[in-house]
């Protein structure tokens, strides 16, 4: 284990400093922006919310059209994957585009460290790479295996 990683003892010693009521029904996805202050949640009700940790309140609601299955940040923009298979981008509360779509639920999102490439996986046994400079699909790859359910970008 690298020296700068937390040990099991350090993690066990962490205490919660604040609590909140449930933000979104059935939420199973959360991601933090670069500042670490904004959390993007998604719910089964077809909405995603941006929660400010410092303000302790929801600062924006995003209408996603279907249950949210994964969330990610693209700089200050929000990206959500949905049960309907869509991968959508939002900025300032408005949908700015749909990157692509899976034939069935999209199951995960991963942003490349460069911030220029996004990947999604779906129950259709495919993964899609998106070129964010032009918001287009760069590659859509189908697999024969059902074991690739989470996007990983190295």
Model pTM score? 0.81
Residue 7 is predicted with a pLDDT of: 84
Average pLDDT, the chain: 88
What are the structural domains, with CATH classification, of the chain?
Answer: 22-142 (2.130.10.10)
**Tens digit of each residue's pLDDT (9 = 90 or more) over 88-133:** 999 999 999 999 889 999 999 999 999 999 999 999 999 999 999 9
What per-residue confidence (pLDDT) applies to 6? 83
Residue 39 in contact with residue 57, Cβ under 8 Å?
Answer: no
Residue-wise pLDDT for 77-95, tens only, equals 999 999 999 999 999 999 9
Distance CA 81, CA 88 (A): 7
């Amino acid at each position: 284990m690298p020296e700068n990683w937390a040990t099991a003892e350090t993690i066990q010693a962490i205490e919660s400093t604040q609590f909140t009521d449930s933000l979104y029904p059935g939420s199973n996805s959360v991601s933090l922006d670069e500042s670490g202050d904004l959390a993007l949640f998604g719910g089964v009700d077809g909405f995603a919310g941006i929660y400010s940790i410092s303000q302790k309140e929801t600062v924006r609601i995003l209408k996603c059209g279907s249950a949210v299955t994964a969330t990610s940040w693209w700089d200050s923009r929000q990206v959500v994957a949905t049960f309907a298979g869509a991968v959508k981008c939002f900025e300032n509360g408005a949908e700015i585009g749909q990157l692509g779509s899976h034939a069935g639920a999209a199951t995960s999102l991963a942003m490349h460290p460069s911030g220029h490439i996004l990947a999604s996986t779906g129950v259709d046994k495919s993964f899609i790479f998106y070129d964010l400079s032009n918001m287009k699909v760069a590659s859509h790859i189908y697999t024969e295996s059902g074991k690739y359910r989470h996007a990983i970008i190295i």
